[in-house]
């Protein structure tokens, strides 16, 4: 008797194999390119020999911080999305975002996805600065704001597929993601130092951009204009080009400047090292002195006195005179 033939199996009955990491990278090159930039920035920061969770290192490599942004370093609204607070933060954000990003990049295409990601990150950074004006100043860094923008884009695409707002909130997938967002928001408010302002700023930015992008041609132009106006508005509120340092802001500005000038910062535990950046320290003091902060003029004068430039004495005297005009109590230091 001959052995029975093996059963015939149709191709459709065989489960698709999981794509390799290289196949995923070819399908979503922007997603993996952005992850590679994040890793490269972290390696760069780590090779400087500094703790990538320290305040000074985060600021040195582009983190978001209100006083720095208001002093003219607007580029931080972009660079902050590529710097992370240590390796665990970076690896978690990368792991959590890859799946979301791959699907949206394939749905929107490479160029539109890149624009979505960057605009979401900028919107998140702006919201972080605005949030700091309400809840207190903070240093913010990480890709999670941009990642929440990708989640917002997912909501927008799902909303386009469903017939009504009621159907959208009744959707099981939408509800699941909303519950996860609520949980992470609660954790950010109670247990971990998460920037919820940035998360919601990115979420809203990503949703609005994708909603405009996928709108019918007749409405698309007006929605783009509305989106651009909204993003420009929050950008202006965040960067505050009219800002004049006063009170605590003025004191903190001078403290940051001195830390950059001398490479140390005083803490309750004693002096600690700080990134030595004389040019940034001078810019911060010049900003403060120009806008009427007497202590900034005085600190800048003391710094210039230590320089060997021929006109150092004259410049220092002029700055001390300016400080005395702003604060008569400093007149006794001018001779």
b/e for 24-37, b at 16 or more Cβ within 10 A? bbeebebbbebbee
Q: What is the structure's pLDDT at 67?
A: 95
Give the model confidence (pLDDT) of 173-191 as tens digits. Answer: 999 999 999 998 998 888 7
> 21-159+194-239: what fold?
Rhomboid-like fold (1.20.1540)
Q: At what angle do helices 110-135 and 144-161 cross, to 10 degrees?
A: 120
Burial of 261 (0-12, 13-18, 19+ CB in 10 A): buried
Tokens of 304: 């210039």
- Do 296 and 254 contact (CB within 8 A), yes or no? yes
Q: What is the structure's pLDDT at 1?
A: 44
- Do 238 and 129 contact (CB within 8 A), yes or no? yes
Tokens of 172: 């099981």
Pairing of strands 264-267, 270-273: antiparallel
**How many whole angstroms separate alpha carbon 83 and alpha carbon 81?**
6
Q: What residues of the chain score a pLDDT lower than 70?
A: 1-17, 49, 329-335
Alpha carbon 286 to its chain's center: 25
Tell me which architecture the domain covering 247-333 has in CATH. Answer: Alpha Horseshoe (1.25)
Catalytic residue ranges: 144, 199
Q: What is the structure's pLDDT at 7?
A: 41
**How many whole angstroms separate alpha carbon 66 and alpha carbon 131?**
10
Q: Which backbone phi and psi does 272 adopt, to 5 degrees?
A: -130, 155
Residue 180: name the closest of 100, 71, 258, 69 by CA: 100
pTM over 0.75: yes
* All structural domains of the chain with their residue ranges: 21-159+194-239, 247-333
Burial of 9 (0-12, 13-18, 19+ CB in 10 A): exposed
């Amino acid at each position: 008797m001959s052995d029975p033939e093996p059963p015939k199996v149709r191709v459709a009955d065989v489960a698709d194999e999981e794509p390799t990491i290289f196949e995923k990278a070819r399908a979503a090159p922007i997603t993996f390119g952005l992850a590679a930039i994040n890793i490269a920035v972290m390696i760069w920061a780590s090779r400087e020999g500094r703790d990538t969770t320290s305040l000074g290192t985060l600021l040195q490599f582009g983190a978001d911080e209100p006083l720095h942004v208001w002093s003219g370093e607007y580029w931080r609204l972009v660079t902050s999305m590529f710097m992370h607070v240590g390796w665990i933060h970076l690896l978690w954000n990368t792991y959590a975002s890859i799946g979301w990003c791959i699907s949206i990049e394939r749905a929107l295409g490479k160029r539109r996805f890149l624009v979505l990601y960057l605009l979401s990150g900028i919107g998140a950074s702006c919201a972080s600065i605005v949030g700091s004006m309400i809840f207190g100043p903070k240093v913010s860094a990480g890709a999670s704001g941009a990642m929440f923008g990708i989640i917002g884009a997912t909501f927008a695409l799902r909303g386009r597929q469903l017939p009504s707002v009621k159907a959208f909130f009744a959707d099981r997938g939408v509800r699941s993601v909303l519950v996860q967002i609520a949980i992470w928001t609660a954790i950010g408010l109670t247990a971990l130092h998460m920037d919820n302002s940035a998360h919601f700023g990115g979420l809203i930015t990503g949703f609005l951009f994708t909603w405009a992008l996928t709108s019918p041609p007749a409405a698309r132009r007006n929605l783009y204009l509305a989106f651009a106006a909204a993003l420009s508005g929050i950008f202006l509120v965040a960067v505050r080009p009219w800002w004049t340092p006063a009170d605590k802001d003025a004191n903190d500005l001078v403290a940051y400047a001195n830390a950059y000038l001398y490479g140390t910062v005083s803490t309750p535990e004693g002096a600690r090292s700080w990134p030595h950046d004389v040019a940034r320290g001078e810019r911060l003091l010049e900003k403060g002195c120009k806008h009427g902060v007497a202590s900034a003029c005085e600190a800048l004068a003391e710094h210039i006195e230590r320089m060997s430039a021929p006109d150092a004495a004259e410049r220092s005297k002029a700055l001390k005179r300016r400080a005395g005009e702003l604060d008569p109590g400093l007149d006794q230091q001018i001779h």
